Structure 1
Amino acid sequence: MNKKHSINHNHQKQRSSIKILHKTVKGRCRCKVQGLLYSKELKQYLEFNLSLQKDINSVRANSVTGNILIYFNPRTKVIEIAKAVNQLVEQYYQHPQAFIELTKRPRESSVTSPSAWHIKEIETILLEFNTSKQTGLSNEAVQANLTKYGVNALTENPTRSGLSIFIDYFKSVPVALLSGAALLSVLTGGITDAVVIMGVVTINAILGYATESQSERIINSLKNFVNPSAWVIRDGKLIEIESQNLVPGDLLLLQPGSYVPADARLIEVDRLTLDESALTGESLPISKQDKAITIQEETIPLAERNNMVYQGTFVTGGQGKGVVVATANLTEMGKIQALVGETSHPTTPLERQLEQAGEQLVWLSSGVCGLVFAIGLLRGYGLLEMVKTSISLAVAAVPEGLPTVATTTLALGILNMRQQKVLIRRLEAIEALGSIQALCLDKTGTLTANRMSVLQVCWDGREINLEDGHFWSDQQAINPYQCDELLKLIHISVLCNDSQINYHHHDTYVLDGSSTENALMEMAIDAGIEVEELQEKYPRLLTYHRSTEHNFMATVHRIHQSVYLMAVKGNPSEVLERCSTRIENGQFIPLSQVDKQAILEQNERMAAQALRVLGMAYGQEEITDVESLPVSHLIWVGLVGMADPIRSGVKETIANFHQAGINTLMITGDQSPTAYAIGKTLNLSQGQPLKILDSTELMDLSPDALASLSEKVHIFARISPTHKLQIVQALQNRGLVVAMTGDGINDTPALKAAEVGIAMGHTGTDVAREVADVVLEDDNLETMIIAVSQGRTIYNNIRKSVHFLLSTNLSEIMVMLLANVGGLGQPLNAMQLLWLNLVTDIFPGLALALEPPEPDVLSLAPRSPDQPIIKRSDFQRIIFESSTLSVSSLAAYSYGIARYGISLQASTVAFMSLVSGQLLHALSCRSSQPLGSQTLPHNPYLTTALTGSMALQWVSLATPGLRNLLQVTPLNPLDGLVIGSSAILPLAINEGTKFYPISK
């Protein structure tokens, strides 16, 4: 009893520790029950019961880490998911035994493979697909399987038809109110009113359809941006094919950085690790093996099937070979897509804010319309007249154009950025771009040109410089073939190297590999080394890739029979730790602590020159089991210093980020002195002392300590992929909106975690582009400034449109309410109110959403992501502006009454005054600064919208048919002067108060 009580007590403290680790992306989130001691029963209990929850499509829990990956309806709030998890955990630990039996009932698991490939012996699988470990499928078998299983492409969720997009515009609360008003008009004999009301609704739907269908086309065009290839063995030959041509039975080769295009059962592995976070929610790489799982359970979770690889994951290290067992919709990724079954893109937070604001205004206007109706009846107006007026006022007040504004702006924003070489892969990323507060910059390929070249080598205190392909020391040329130490160093650089040389005509070649390894290979070729002969002489048997455990690479080669050579390159200090011998004048002598200190000092001097320094070493041993060859007791060879030049314009771009209020942090695998020199050159600290944190210090920090330090550090050095993820999450824990740039495999976990993941489109890897939210097609960081500017501009423009729509609609309500309260009759009839809605709302509102960036858009601090589209203080401004418009129109109406009495002439003056004032008010909504105080860029769309709307308004006076419909009369010059004055006066007052803001 005491033990049970203790367990319950511990978990009682932990129940509130549900944490959302990844924000939702199209209905996907990863949450963690922190500190929870998971049992198998609890894992099954959570998976079973969460899957029964409404709006949850798929659940996977990991019994080791406590992570839960949940796919759910995108419209469901994340907090509701967290509450459901929390409640189930509490229920389980209150009565654990009562729920264990529930998890044992038969059920259809979304993670169960019908054929249970993970528990089958590989020979059985090969026989089932009629394939072979050595030769793979024959061409005939490939064609047969292609016919049987189809192409390896996930079935696209049905896109929205044009008709469904159009109909959806009739389903919102504002349109429902308008449709009800039209029905009421028919019942009260106002057929014309009903036709006009539904005409306004239909015009809005047509505009919405045109813009949203364009948005659908743009988003759908992004789906095929990443189309990875695959290396397979067919008929005994290694070939590269498009991933969609893979079939079950194919022998699939897996290499670092390769995207897994289908589900496969592993048959050979060499230290293979994969990132499976897309399926399991685990950020850390998962080690794989090729043996059948002995636990005979078909329902073993995906995260524990370590002899399988799945579509949508990617290789982070090592190599492997597997037989494809499922393609297309039969893959685990295909099952998830079928479960989610989205038929439309989820709305963005911004769209939801606008929808909420529109609904609130609908109910507010409905209340005001009811009040106007009651006052009108008390004043003695006819019932039918007041019904028509109230209906028309409701129509005029309803902001049915808000969704159209958001859809149009976001869609055109994506298109505009695409023209600027910025590819947006998620609508939500546009909003996040304007809120970025911290930008984590991967050094290689982002800040630098990613074209390394060796500049210096050093051993035994001797420095050799490399210029134009020649080695120099004290202005004397050095022949590597006459210097054993230099020749050994070059040989190690070639052997411990994954670069491939592709020869072309006229003895030209292209190096295919990382920039660092290409530079080492270039050094060897310039020295006259026959690279291919050397590699054939010492064939590679094993490879130990750089990982989170060790910051170096090692390769094992056969010399002859049972004598093996180990070549090592990597972080100088880590390589040096594994060395016990050095070479001096051709002799092997013990490596003393004094020698090691001298080497480390030389390393510091080279790194201080902004050189990336690698340590070189090797070992030679006679051994029977090659895999037992230790990476220790090595022979130290020397240091290699190389440089990657900083990209042109990067320093100015960093300054622009700082001006925009965005903190920049450099994350690099380089040593601290090298990183410090680069950070100093780029002025990352904005003139303040440059603060740098090494990975060795990072390992000793708690998450809270790292979070508090993250805002103060400018450079993180010697960083591993795991550290990158920790840094991004630490910044997020400080409440910052984080963007992360990267182009390699090791950047992908951090790219996923950041609010905005930014990948390079040209030099970046497929997997980096696959997880990124933004892709810079020209690999130019300067383009990112354009993206930030566009992100901020799009958000600002939507705010301007909403500001305009709310202030003008509110002014119409005020005019009718005040006139009725004051006993001034009906300044606007039902048809005039409907006309107002058509002329002043839609086109000027859309034109404001297409405003070019303001001159100071990159001089302001980023907005808070929690900031609503219309702040509380903004409403003060909107009410003031609405008041000036309504009072000015009522003043013009009072002039009309004084001259013509309560008549059509007076109503015409009020009608023209309010329309003209609202159209001019669009100019005031362009900026929070007074007109003329700054030079705003020209907006041809607004000019066209205002000119066209104003012309249409005056045409209505000259056209007999429209004049009769609107019940307006011709005007004389004095009337025109009053109308013009009443339209300009609110603009002058509103602009004047911008010098002395009403609210802050």
Structure 2
Amino acid sequence: MIQAIHNVVPGRARYRVEKLYRCKELKEHLEFHLSQQLGIISTSANILTGNILVLFELNLSTDRVKELVAEIEQNYSPKIAVNHQKLNSNLQQKSDDWYALDIDTVLAELQTSDTGLTQVVAHKNLQKYGTNTLPETATRSELRILLEQFQSLPVGLLCIAAGLSVATGGLADAAVIMGVVGINAAIGYITESQSEKIIHSLKSRDRPLTSVLRDRQIVEINTAEIVPGDILVLKAGNYVAADARLIATENLSIDESALTGESLPVSKSTASLIAADISLGDRINMAYKGTLVLGGQGLGVVVATGKFTEIGKIQAMISQTPVQTTPLARQLDEVGSQLVMLASGVCTLVFAAGWLRGYGLLQMLKTSISLAVAAVPEGLPTIATTILALGIQDMRKHKVLVRSLNAVEALGAVQKICLDKTGTITKNQMSVVEIHTDTKLSLVDGDLNIIADACTLKLIQVAVLCNESVVTRDCHGEYVVTGSATENALVYMAIAAGIDVLALREQYPLVDTKPRAENRNYMRMLRRGSLDALSSVSTQHQHQQHFAVKGSPGEVLDLCHWRLNDGARVPLTAAERLAIALENDRMAGKALRVLGVAYGYESTELVWLGLIGMADPVRHGVKNLIGQFHQAGIDTVMITGDQTPTAYAIGKELQLSRNDQIQILDAQDLVNVDREALQALCDKVDIFARISPVNKLQIVQALQAVGKVVAMTGDGINDAPALKSANVGVAMGTGTDAAREVADIILEDNNLATMIVAVSQGRTIYNNIRKAVHFLLATNLSEIIVMAIATAGGFGQPLNALQLLWLNLVTDIFPALALALEPAEPDVLQTPPRSPDESIIKASDFQRILFESTILSGSTLAAYAYGVTRYGIGLRASTIAFMSLTLGQLLHALSCRTERSIIENIPANQYLNLALAGSMTLQFVVLAPGLRDLLKLAPLDGWDLIVIAGSALFPLVVNESTKQFHGTQL
């Protein structure tokens, strides 16, 4: 049976379908087939109530719509019979357009009343719907952090090399290789686990108790036990515990910035909203879980709890959002893959050549494995891990917490930074920025002590007397101000002007308050005392009663017949009214929240004092930071829940666009845009306004789809999905737990300017890792060439397996690590970010690496040939080759410092000097009697040492002299 309940508005009607109750299949059947009917705009069925809401064109009658519903319902034949009485008692909550329903309908559908649920019904609902708790965001355990240290291809190659060494009896080789892997894992684990602990220490806790109506009484219950149908008691200073449809309000204002990104508080009402698809920020008859009541009071009937709230849906979106890998991680894996191919090819070639020349199968197998070990740069994972760990430690000194090792480097690769406005670009607190009195304009910078104008001072004092903020002093004598953001801003303005707020209010006690109402957008307070004496703050007690008024400039101005002129009252002319209206429009055009202020006697018209302009101020240094990002070739995009005029004004102030032509897009413009068009749009837009959490995620993913490396900043739960999806998520330290849990970087002191430091450090780290990788590949390739040519040519084996391993340890780790600690290049922030598709080692780099390796190998083979000629194939010749190659590789580290010649004036690198001195010392120590037997070395004479020195210096001279011809870029 289909029963018409009522017409909500023309073109919108609600029907009850008995079979629909708790039947998901019928719900889907009705919604799909009704939407296909001509004239039907949209449908929304509710399996909790059995109701279906139909939005239709006005040329259809409600009777015809009812007939369509009945016909489609009769055609429904479920494939599986459903026993409606035996469904799971933990019934899922269905979100509905509660804002579109009148209060009586909402209460009826939730089977409650404005006096609240009984304890018995509340207990049943708790069993049915579950607790009002959000699932915990998955965090990285200690074990997971440890295992992640082994999840890279270079580390995997080291493990394979160790396994091959064990298979051929090289236990010592395997032990040393796994020692390197262990050191690498320990450094990464300790650094990342420390960051995780600090981040978790910032986590806040929900308020455990919430006031509700139960059995007609106001009681405090555990927040987790709130259920649909409960009546929430909303008071200033409390967080909303669940999503609720408001049923009673009294000057209720709520800060929804954590959910919507809207910086201004939202004034709430109970009237039904008839428009379809109203955004969260415009649902003024709803209160949502996690938002803060700033002023007034109200009652709301709970319509959703736990994971079914708007915050719960966002948290579910977070869990479904994939995490992006960083450019460095991908590129190091690419280098590892290239090494596998190179090592496999060379080892196969050497094995085949040696076997064909008559060497034993086992001997050639060991030689090939030694070459494979030589091809893998044991120092690469340790170098990358250590330098990133040092970067994290350095950033921690700047109050920047970095969750993972690759996050700082990834920020250095960022091409687009998406900046959340509220709480990130701005402070998320209202401040007075302009005062207009008696045709005078005062720009406020936070210090009003210089103001001596009597009219301005009177305006400030009246704004404090017409104010609901509670003002007290703490034990240190400091003011403590509690109230809405707007009211608090006026009090802080007075404090900055040197006014004793408590003494002022005591001198002019409150008699009566007439708050704002739906048809009166201003507040009026009746005070006892002579307001004409305010400018001098007379100590004489006055018994007259006068009004202090503030609110909508237009409405307040209509009440005024006088103005002040040099402290004297004069009639307010029509021309002056027009001038005030134009000034109001000018201030509103700058996205300021403007209040008109007036005062007057109880029995006379009001005296106009002036206008106060307020805004959520931009954080200090952000404009300069935007300029630095642009200089570094990084595009900046602002994403906000604010209205378009407000967003545009801030974007213009910050000069967000690099070409001074700001492109702004409203969320409504994204509704019917397909994926390809969205990707094209996002890369050209500077500001996105009225944006929802889903929109933020779409914008970040659209930018990534066109190949951009994206950073996202934010502090609210509405930012969390985008923070997680971005290549680098940056959260404010005072932001929500959800934002911090998914971010890669947390700015503990909310100082956004630190990001440019991170960008600089990230770029420097990447450039230095490139230098280290270049050095490692050139030196390791030279070992392969030496072994391959000597073996294939029948000249024996210049180096044994243990010598190869020693080479990799002495010449790889310490010099390469020192290269990774090179000072920043002077122009690191004047160059555009690198392309994410660019390999860490480009094709031109490989050409240069091959040339350098050939010179190193040729010089070593020449020294080896000298040894073979003088001593024959054996330990003496092998020792000469070993010393020549080792020292040549160490000196090659100097050449890898810069693409310019090392004789030019470049900053000193003390780390490299120490590394080379230490490595060379170790190299000569192993020649000492008793130690040289470990590596199977022989003593050397003076001529041998001269040959070795010449062989080591020759590659450095050749490589340095040819840099200008190769034009390599390290």
Question: What TM-score, normalized by structure 2, do the two folds share?
Answer: 0.66
**AA partner of residue 480 (structure 2):** V
Match of 2:562 in 1: 585
Q: Of 786, 797, 800, which aligns to 2:757?
A: 786
1:445 CA displacement: 7.1
Match of 1:370 in 2: 348
Q: How does 1:765-914 map to 2 (within 5 A)?
A: 772-914=743-885
1:359 CA displacement: 3.6
Q: How does 1:977-992 map to 2 (within 5 A)?
A: 977-992=946-961
In the alignment, structure 1 residue 602 sits paired with structure 2 residue 594: no
Q: How does 1:512-591 map to 2 (within 5 A)?
A: 512=482, 517-523=487-493, 526=499, 530=505, 537-538=512-513, 581=558, 583-585=560-562
In the alignment, structure 1 residue 948 sits paired with structure 2 residue 923: no
Would the alpha carbon gap of residues 171 and 937 (structure 1) be closer, same or farther in structure 2, given more than 3 Å must change? closer
1:454 CA displacement: 5.2
Give the conservation status (yes or no) of the 8 Å contact 1:126–1:132: no
Larger radius of gyration: 2
**AA partner of residue 182 (structure 1):** S
In the alignment, structure 1 residue 211 sits paired with structure 2 residue 194: no
SS of equivalent residue, structure 2 residue 612: strand
Q: How does 1:417-566 map to 2 (within 5 A)?
A: 417-425=395-403, 429-439=407-417, 452-453=431-432, 455-458=434-437, 468=448, 480=458, 490=462, 500-505=470-475, 508-512=478-482, 517-523=487-493, 526=499, 530=505, 537-538=512-513
1:815 CA displacement: 1.2
1:408 CA displacement: 3.3
RMSD: 6.4
**AA partner of residue 335 (structure 2):** A
Give the conservation status (yes or no) of the 8 Å contact 1:218–1:411: no
Match of 2:939 in 1: 970
Give the conservation status (yes or no) of the 8 Å contact 1:582–1:590: no
1:384 CA displacement: 3.2
Work out the CA distance in 1 between the residues paired with 2:949 and 2:30: 74
Match of 2:6 in 1: none
1:844 CA displacement: 3.4
Give the conservation status (yes or no) of the 8 Å contact 1:151–1:245: no
Q: What are the superposed Cα offsets for residues 761-792 of structure 1, whole Å, 9 maximum, x if unpaired?
A: 36x66676566543333343442221111221
Work out the CA distance in 1 between the residues paired with 2:477 and 2:448: 19
Provide structure 1 residue ranges, at least 5 long, that are not aligned to the other structure.
1-38, 45-62, 66-99, 138-147, 186-190, 238-243, 292-301, 481-485, 545-552, 560-564, 619-634
Give the conservation status (yes or no) of the 8 Å contact 1:804–1:922: yes
Work out the CA distance in 2 between the residues paired with 1:869 and 1:368: 22
Work out the CA distance in 1 between the residues paired with 2:902 and 2:82: 71
Match of 1:181 in 2: 164
1:325 CA displacement: 7.0
SS of equivalent residue, structure 1 residue 423: strand
Give the conservation status (yes or no) of the 8 Å contact 2:318–2:720: no
Q: Of 312, 320, 332, which aligns to 1:354?
A: 332
Match of 1:958 in 2: 928
Work out the CA distance in 1 between the residues paired with 2:548 and 2:677: 40
Work out the CA distance in 2 between the residues paired with 1:417 and 1:600: 50
Match of 2:202 in 1: 226
SS of equivalent residue, structure 1 residue 530: helix
1:849 CA displacement: 3.6
Match of 1:626 in 2: none
Match of 1:50 in 2: none
Give the conservation status (yes or no) of the 8 Å contact 2:145–2:193: no
Q: What are the superposed Cα offsets for residues 172-211 of structure 1, whole Å, 9 maximum, x if unpaired?
A: 64245324423442xxxxx4xx112212222122212321
Give the conservation status (yes or no) of the 8 Å contact 1:728–1:754: yes
In the alignment, structure 1 residue 662 sits paired with structure 2 residue 643: no
SS of equivalent residue, structure 1 residue 958: coil
SS of equivalent residue, structure 1 residue 986: helix
Would the alpha carbon gap of residues 554 and 902 (structure 1) be closer, same or farther in structure 2, given more than 3 Å must change? farther
Q: Of 895, 913, 931, which aligns to 2:902?
A: 931
| Larger displacement relative to structure 2 (913-922 or 367-376) | 913-922
Work out the CA distance in 1 between the residues paired with 2:925 and 2:863: 20
Provide structure 2 residue ranges, at least 5 long, that are not aligned to the other structure.
1-26, 33-41, 45-75, 95-108, 214-220, 272-279, 527-546, 564-568, 599-606
Q: What are the superposed Cα offsets for residues 723-762 of structure 1, whole Å, 9 maximum, x if unpaired?
A: 9959878876775444455567887787677654544436
Would the alpha carbon gap of residues 749 and 979 (structure 1) be closer, same or farther in structure 2, given more than 3 Å must change? same
Match of 2:52 in 1: none
1:155 CA displacement: 8.3
Q: What are the superposed Cα offsets for residues 819-876 of structure 1, whole Å, 9 maximum, x if unpaired?
A: 2333433222233223323333334344434444333322322112232322233222
Work out the CA distance in 1 between the residues paired with 2:133 and 2:764: 45
Give the conservation status (yes or no) of the 8 Å contact 2:413–2:833: yes
In the alignment, structure 1 residue 127 sits paired with structure 2 residue 119: yes
Q: What are the superposed Cα offsets for residues 29-88 of structure 1, whole Å, 9 maximum, x if unpaired?
A: xxxxxxxxxx947999xxxxxxxxxxxxxxxxxx999xxxxxxxxxxxxxxxxxxxxxxx
Work out the CA distance in 2 between the residues paired with 1:369 and 1:391: 8
1:970 CA displacement: 0.9
Q: What are the superposed Cα offsets for residues 567-612 of structure 1, whole Å, 9 maximum, x if unpaired?
A: 9868xxxx76x9994633389x9999x988744642476689x895
1:895 CA displacement: 1.9
Q: What are the superposed Cα offsets for residues 448-476 of structure 1, whole Å, 9 maximum, x if unpaired?
A: 887834552247x6768998469766xx5
SS of equivalent residue, structure 1 residue 817: helix
| Larger displacement relative to structure 2 (438-447 or 387-396) | 438-447
1:797 CA displacement: 2.9
Give the conservation status (yes or no) of the 8 Å contact 1:739–1:755: yes
Give the conservation status (yes or no) of the 8 Å contact 1:454–1:523: no
Give the conservation status (yes or no) of the 8 Å contact 1:122–1:267: no
SS of equivalent residue, structure 1 residue 377: helix
In the alignment, structure 1 residue 761 sits paired with structure 2 residue 733: yes
Would the alpha carbon gap of residues 858 and 269 (structure 1) be closer, same or farther in structure 2, given more than 3 Å must change? farther
In the alignment, structure 1 residue 916 sits paired with structure 2 residue 892: no
SS of equivalent residue, structure 1 residue 537: strand
Would the alpha carbon gap of residues 851 and 614 (structure 1) be closer, same or farther in structure 2, given more than 3 Å must change? same
**AA partner of residue 761 (structure 1):** G
Work out the CA distance in 2 between the residues paired with 1:771 and 1:366: 40
Give the conservation status (yes or no) of the 8 Å contact 1:152–1:245: no
SS of equivalent residue, structure 1 residue 800: helix
Q: How does 1:706-785 map to 2 (within 5 A)?
A: 720-721=690-691, 725=696, 736-739=708-711, 741=713, 755-761=727-733, 772-785=743-756
Q: What are the superposed Cα offsets for residues 78-108 of structure 1, whole Å, 9 maximum, x if unpaired?
A: xxxxxxxxxxxxxxxxxxxxxx99997999x
SS of equivalent residue, structure 1 residue 501: strand
Give the conservation status (yes or no) of the 8 Å contact 1:811–1:886: yes
Q: What are the superposed Cα offsets for residues 456-499 of structure 1, whole Å, 9 maximum, x if unpaired?
A: 2247x6768998469766xx55674xxxxx59x955x876x785
SS of equivalent residue, structure 2 residue 829: coil
Would the alpha carbon gap of residues 585 and 256 (structure 1) be closer, same or farther in structure 2, given more than 3 Å must change? closer
SS of equivalent residue, structure 1 residue 584: strand
Identity of aligned residues (%): 43
Give the conservation status (yes or no) of the 8 Å contact 2:202–2:733: no
